[in-house]
Amino acid sequence: MRRLAILNHKGGVGKTTTCFNLASAYADQGLKVLCIDLDPQGHLAVSLGVTEPGLQGVDALFFDDAELPELRVEARDGIDLLPAGYRLGEIERLAAQGRERAEVLGRKLAAVESEYDLLMIDCPPNSGLLNFNALFAADEVLIPVSGDYLALHGLSQLLRTLSSAERFMKKPIRMWIALTRFAVRRRLANQVRDKLIKYFPDKLLATVVRENAPLAESPSFGKSIFDYSRRSNGAEDYRRLADDLLYGRVVSSS
């Protein structure tokens, strides 16, 4: 199972949109995907149409020592979901218990690893215990970056954080960058893209995801961009981005 965390400490860059639509693209290809909603806000579950109140999920792994197979739900063909759970917002109070708590998710995944082709973890916009669990569980990190200056500044800080995490965990993490919410006609967006190409050509995935109204609208209908507007720019971009990630197609090799 390929293990991928979608991570950025900055909000509004399209983490959940990227996780949901990449998972949908892979499911359309016949791959079996497990999505984990690690954000207490639970937006990934809502996007997938899983809205039952009081659902348990990741929270029960921590608070009840529950097992993952009994908590996952079938969200749609090819995609299973481990919801955040209604108590996940309380999880940071366990942070003082150290490294053992940072490895809970990774340990629990062992029970289902052989059942899936891909694991995709939608991470919260912070650097706490939940994100450490994501990094311990994942082998790769996908960083969505929107086309604005603050997103570029935040990326530098995040890469330093990930380097420190690698040293702490004593394992390498493959990092990818995806340029999202890209306004083609904005000069600033193109300047951001040029800087990413200059400094991260071996990490920047070849396809940019253009700003697209259907991408913003589709989650409110519980639909992926492919179900909501299959011929839109958003569908085309996420279909191509999925292949970029699957085959390691970056700017320097495109």
Overall average pLDDT of the 131-141 stretch: 94
Q: What is the pLDDT of residue 95?
A: 61
Separation between Cα atoms, residue 93 and residue 4, nearest integer Å: 25
pLDDT in tens, 195-227: 999 989 999 999 999 999 999 999 888 899 999
* Least confident range of 23-27, 103-107, 185-189, 240-244: 185-189
pLDDT in tens, 154-197: 788 788 888 888 888 888 899 999 999 998 888 888 998 999 99
Q: Residue 160 maps to which CATH number?
A: 3.40.50.300
* Least confident range of 47-51, 146-150, 213-217: 146-150
Separation between Cα atoms, residue 185 and residue 100, nearest integer Å: 48
CB 105 within 8 A of CB 82: no
| Domain containing residue 105 | 2-253
Number of domains in the chain: 1
Confidence of residue 26 (pLDDT cuts 50, 70, 90): very high
Overall average pLDDT of the 30-57 stretch: 93
Stated pTM of the model:
0.93
**What is the secondary structure of 37-57 as a DSSP string?**
E-STT-HHHHHTT---TT--S
Separation between Cα atoms, residue 200 and residue 150, nearest integer Å: 17
Confidence of residue 38 (pLDDT cuts 50, 70, 90): very high
pLDDT in tens, 77-125: 999 999 999 999 888 776 655 567 889 999 999 999 999 999 999 999 8
Query: Taking 70 as the threshold, does the pLDDT of residue 127 lie above it?
Result: no
